[in-house]
Amino acid sequence: MLSQELTECLGAQDKQWLFSKLPEVKDVSERFLQDLEHRLEEDILRFDVCDIVLEHCPALRRVYLPYVTNQAYQEQTYQRLLHENPRFPSILARLEEDPICQRLPLTSFLILPFQRITRLKMLVENILKRTTPGSRDEDTATKAFNELKKIIKECNCSVQSMKRMEELIHLNKKIHFEGKIFPLISQSRWLVKHGELLEVDTQTMSISGSKLKLPTKPVYLHLFNDCLLLSRRKDTWKFMVFVHAKIGELKVKDLSQKLHGISGFIFHLQLCEGQQLKHQILLKSHTESGKQRWITAMFPSDPLEDIEQASENVDIPQVQCIKSYQAQEHDELTLEKADILHAKTITSDGWVEGIRLSDGERGWFPKTYVEEITSRSARLRNLRENIRIKCVTQKLEGED
């Protein structure tokens, strides 16, 4: 950031988007580290960190919230500079060759602040699990854990809100309605899932030997939190909507096990308007997980009921993350190593729908990133620890 050569290569706005409030983040991080070092020097045998974390939470929130919110612009700016600014890649490559960078690229340093605060939350959570119940240490650790959770939630909500609105503005240019006015952009609307499935044409089916042949044609789905749009592609990036319906007026039936002689993973979707059937369609996915993910997205179960059932039943499968996973689609869940999750659904093609114990967040992820917790006693211990943390948290929130 302090490189004169790089500063001359960048405009003022690009530099602001690329580095954001990095100096403030650095200052707050250094003061936090200094306080930890002083505590360690005072008493190496009783090294407590949670009160220091709690004391620094307001400063962490002040710098992390704007920094993390800017990360979408940061990534876009970085990619644009790589492709459009001829001097940027070579200057950056020379700077990254400096031994102080330890062969790491600029992007790995830019993302560190948010990674650091999520790891700090995991650290405090593990300390909390090991404190004596009812002790002063437990009280401090719980308060620090709650504050860190709030900061991360605020950061996630801020980023999510900004991304959702940008996505709607982008989609509004690509989605067209046949002779109807449909105001797509709304503060209360967001995209839940989108993708292409195959529409099975039952009107022109034929029989070849012992097999039933059903022609298919592609149909594109945009599922929002309040409505579903079905469209055909006009070209690569444009869609013509032929029918839409509110979320509460959809009906679905899984037919994969019921249609003999028809290969693929099929479900029947009905779009209604009030009590009247507006449109019905047979949809086919190439995989079991593809079908299940669409049905789950359209008809999500009650998250509170799911968490309650999972928290009370030790026989519900649990999995632990063995390597971190970054969500690629809207209905996926980003995982950190050591996350414990309830496995709600496991498909034959290797996908898991899980609910994370620590925060109740839910989504899909590949099975290869987790391993099953086969020990019943380990599953019971995970449930007890989760319930204990929640109880202490609720007690402290009640006191506040």
How many domains in the chain?
3
Provide the β-strand partners of residue 375: none
pLDDT at 365: 97
SS3 239: strand
Task: Tell me 346's DSSP state.
Answer: E
The tens digit of pLDDT for each residue in 168-181 reads 999 999 999 877 77
pLDDT at 289: 95
pLDDT band at 69 (very low <50, low <70, confident <90, very high): confident
pLDDT at 237: 82
Question: 126, 142, 173 — which closes off a domain?
Answer: 173
The C-alpha R_g of the chain, in whole angstroms, comes to: 25
The tens digit of pLDDT for each residue in 267-326 reads 999 999 988 999 999 999 999 999 999 999 999 887 777 777 766 777 889 999 999 999
Helix, strand, coil percentages for the chain (3-state, nearest 5): 50, 25, 30
Both 158 and 214 in a single domain? no
Contact 55, 28 (CB under 8 A): no
The tens digit of pLDDT for each residue in 313-348 reads 778 899 999 999 999 999 999 999 999 999 999 999
pLDDT at 278: 92
The tens digit of pLDDT for each residue in 15-25 reads 988 998 899 99
CATH number for the domain harbouring residue 364: 2.30.30.40
Provide the β-strand partners of residue 276: 273
- Side chain identity at residue 12, one-letter code: A
Both 223 and 121 in a single domain? no
Q: Across residues 392-400, what is the average pLDDT?
A: 61
pLDDT at 161: 87
- The overall average pLDDT reported for the chain is 88
Domain that holds residue 312: 303-396
Both 156 and 15 in a single domain? yes
Both 168 and 24 in a single domain? yes
Both 159 and 37 in a single domain? yes
Both 10 and 143 in a single domain? yes
User: What is the distance between the alpha carbons of residues 199 and 215, in angstroms, rounded to a whole number?
Assistant: 8
Question: 260, 281, 298 — which closes off a domain?
Answer: 298
Q: Which residues are CB-contacts of 223 (< 8 A; sequence separation ≥ 6)?
A: 191, 192, 193, 194, 229, 294, 297, 298
Q: Is the pLDDT reported for residue 76 higher than 80?
A: yes
Rounded to the nearest 10 degrees, what angle do helices 376-399 and 136-172 cross at? 90
Question: 272, 298, 324 — which closes off a domain?
Answer: 298
Q: Across residues 68-79, what is the average pLDDT?
A: 87
Both 68 and 188 in a single domain? no
Q: Is the pLDDT reported for residue 250 higher than 90?
A: yes
Both 285 and 374 in a single domain? no
Both 292 and 382 in a single domain? no
Q: Is the pLDDT reported for residue 393 higher than 80?
A: no
pLDDT at 295: 95
Both 36 and 108 in a single domain? yes
Q: In 10 A of CB 84, how many CB atoms?
A: 8
Both 327 and 222 in a single domain? no
Both 22 and 145 in a single domain? yes
Please state whether the predicted TM-score (pTM) of the whole model is above 0.75.
no
CATH number for the domain harbouring residue 83: 1.20.900.10
